[in-house]
Amino acid sequence: MFETAPLVHAGLSEAEAANKAARFQAADEALDRLGTDRRERWSLWVPGRIEVLGKHTDYAGGRSLVCALERGLAVRVAARRDNLVRVRSLDRLSTFETSLTVTASGEPGAWNQYVATVVRRVALNFSDVTRGADIVLSGDLPADAGMSSSSALVVAVFIALSKSNELRSHVTFRSTISSSEELAAYLGAVENGLAFRQLGAGVGVGTYGGNQDHTAILCSEPGQVARYSWDPLKRETLVPVPAGHVFALGASGVHAPKAGAAMAKYNKVSLAARKLLELWNQDSGRADTSLGAALAVPEAGERLIALSGRPSVDHFAPGYLRGRLAQFVAETFDIIPVATDALTRGDLAEFGSVVDQSQELAERNLENQVPETVTLQRSARELGAVAASAFGAGFGGSVWALVPEPDGDRFLRAWKSRYEERHPGPAREAAFFLSRAGPHAYQF
C-alpha cells in the first residue's frame, strides 16, 4: 500500500491522504497490467478547485478568489521509450491511446478529447519531445460538476509528458515558461486553442475560457484562499480560510459538460465580454487586451455603459451586454475586494453578505444558474452556512458553503435531505462532501 506521508507533507489531511493512497495503489496495479517498466514510475496528485468568487472574470481580465480541493486525480505515470501515449481512466473503465507523431482526436466533449488536445499541442510546441508515457488516473471528483475535473486532466497529462521528456530543461520551455503561474496560463491557452507567447495556437476543446482553473490547480496553498488578477496574471494576496471552518460541497447532479448546448451557453457569457471589449476598442481607438484592462481607463466605465445599452448588438438580447458589464464590474472591483477584506478581518457576516450579492448577479445578469443550484445556495444559507455560492461555468454544476467544521457532517445531512425533497431526480446523481482548502498539484 502506498504511504500517506508524501500526501500529508503536501498538505492533505490524514483521512484524505489515506483515501488517495488507496487510489495510487490501484493505479499502480493498473500499470502492472499494462506491462510497464517499474523503474521509471512516479506519482502525481492533481486537485480540483473551488472558485470562491470570480464568476466568468478570469478570461475578461478581472479578479478571482480560488483554492484547491482535497479531491482530484491520483495519477501514476511510467515513461516510455517510444512515442505512444496510453491513458487509462479507472473511473471510466476506459483507455485512450494516441502518439506524439499521429495524434488521435478523441470524442468531442469526452475526457479523451482533453488528452488528445494536450498531446497534440505538446507535439506542436515542443518538436524535440519524443517519449510517450503510460498514465493511469483514479479520481474522486464528481464529473461535469464545475470542480475542474477536465482542467485537472489537462494538467495531469501535460506534467506526465513534461517529466517523461525532462521538458523543463528544454530551451523552448525555459525561454517561455518560468513559473507555475506561467505554466497555468499556457495550459489555459492549450485547452482553449490559443497561442501563448511564441508557442503557436492549436486545436482546443471548443471553449472560450481562461486559466483560473489551471492556476488554482498549480498554485494553491493548503488552508488558504488566493486572490488573483488576470491581466496580467498576478497573485495579489493569500487569505487563510477562517479557523475552525471547512467547505461543504454540493454537486447538483445537473451535469455541466463544456460540450454541445452547454458549451454554447458557456461561450455566450464569454463572447459577451469579448463583444464589450470590441465595442470599447472600436469606439476609443485603443487596442486593450481585456475588459479589465479597458476599465482601467478613467472614462471607460461610463462609455461602456452607453455602448452596451444599444437596443441590439449582434445576437445578444437587449440589455444582456449591460447586465454582463455590471456583473463583471461589481464582481471584480467591489465584491472580491470587500470579500477579501472581510475574510482578513474575520468578519464572516459581511463575507456572507457580499457572496450573496455575487450569487444574485450570476442569477440575474449572467443568467447561468439553474433551479437546482439556486436551491442549493439558498438552502445552505437557511441551514446556517456562513456563506454559499454556485461556482464554475454554470448551467448546472455545484455550490460551495462555508460551515463550522464541527458541524460539517450534520450540515451535509440536512443539506442533502432538503435537496432530495425539492429535486428528487437530479439528487440521484448529486454528491455532497466536505473539503479543506488543499494543496496544489504535487509530484512524488
Could you read off the pLDDT of 384-396 as tens digits, one per residue?
999 999 998 899 9
Whole-number pLDDT of residue 261: 60
Q: How many CA atoms lie within 13 A of 134 on its CB side?
A: 17
Residues lower than pLDDT 50 in the chain: none
Whole-number pLDDT of residue 207: 82
Question: Would you say residue 92 lies in a domain?
Answer: yes
Question: Would you say residue 47 lies in a domain?
Answer: yes
**How are strands ordered across the β-sheet holding 245-251?**
387-391, 398-404, 245-251, 431-435
- Beta carbons within 10 angstroms of residue 344's beta carbon: 12
Question: Would you say residue 331 lies in a domain?
Answer: no
Sign for the CA dihedral angle at 371, 376, 377, 379 comes to positive
Residues 301, 295 contacting (CB under 8 angstroms): yes
Beta pairing partners, 431: 251
Question: Would you say residue 85 lies in a domain?
Answer: yes
Whole-number pLDDT of residue 265: 80
Cα–Cα distance, 2 to 303 (Å, whole number): 59
Whole-number pLDDT of residue 312: 64
Cα–Cα distance, 123 to 361 (Å, whole number): 41
Cα–Cα distance, 284 to 276 (Å, whole number): 12
Question: Would you say residue 371 lies in a domain?
Answer: no
Q: The whole model's pTM is what?
A: 0.95
Whole-number pLDDT of residue 20: 97
Question: Three-class SS of residue 41?
Answer: strand
Whole-number pLDDT of residue 418: 98
Residues 100, 178 contacting (CB under 8 angstroms): no
Question: Would you say residue 132 lies in a domain?
Answer: yes
Whole-number pLDDT of residue 1: 72
Whole-number pLDDT of residue 121: 96
Sign for the CA dihedral angle at 177, 222, 376, 65 comes to negative
Contacts 24+ apart (CB under 8 A), 339-345: 339/52, 339/53, 339/65, 340/65, 340/227, 340/237, 340/239, 343/225, 343/239, 343/240, 343/242, 344/239
Domain that holds residue 177: 5-237
Whole-number pLDDT of residue 260: 59
| DSSP designation for 59 | G
State the greatest distance between any 2 C-alpha atoms of the chain, in Å, as a whole number.
65
Whole-number pLDDT of residue 344: 97
Q: How many CA atoms lie within 13 A of 431 on its CB side?
A: 16
Cβ partners under 8 Å of residue 85, min gap 6? 97, 98, 99, 100, 115, 119, 132, 133, 135, 157, 161
Cβ partners under 8 Å of residue 255, min gap 6? 143, 144, 145, 396, 429
Counted domains in the chain: 1
Could you give phi then psi for residue 56, rounded to 5 degrees? Answer: 55, 40
Residues 119, 98 contacting (CB under 8 angstroms): yes
Q: What is the CATH number for 190?
A: 3.30.230.10
Cα–Cα distance, 220 to 68 (Å, whole number): 6
In the block, cell 503557436 appears at 200
Whole-number pLDDT of residue 244: 97
Helix (H) or strand (E) holding 442: strand 442-443
Question: Would you say residue 56 lies in a domain?
Answer: yes
Contacts 24+ apart (CB under 8 A), 12-17: 12/45, 12/70, 12/222, 12/438, 12/439, 13/70, 13/436, 16/70, 16/71, 16/435, 16/438
Question: Would you say residue 101 lies in a domain?
Answer: yes
- Beta carbons within 10 angstroms of residue 386's beta carbon: 17
Condensed to tens digits (0 to 9), the pLDDT of residues 67-90 reads 999 999 999 999 999 999 999 999
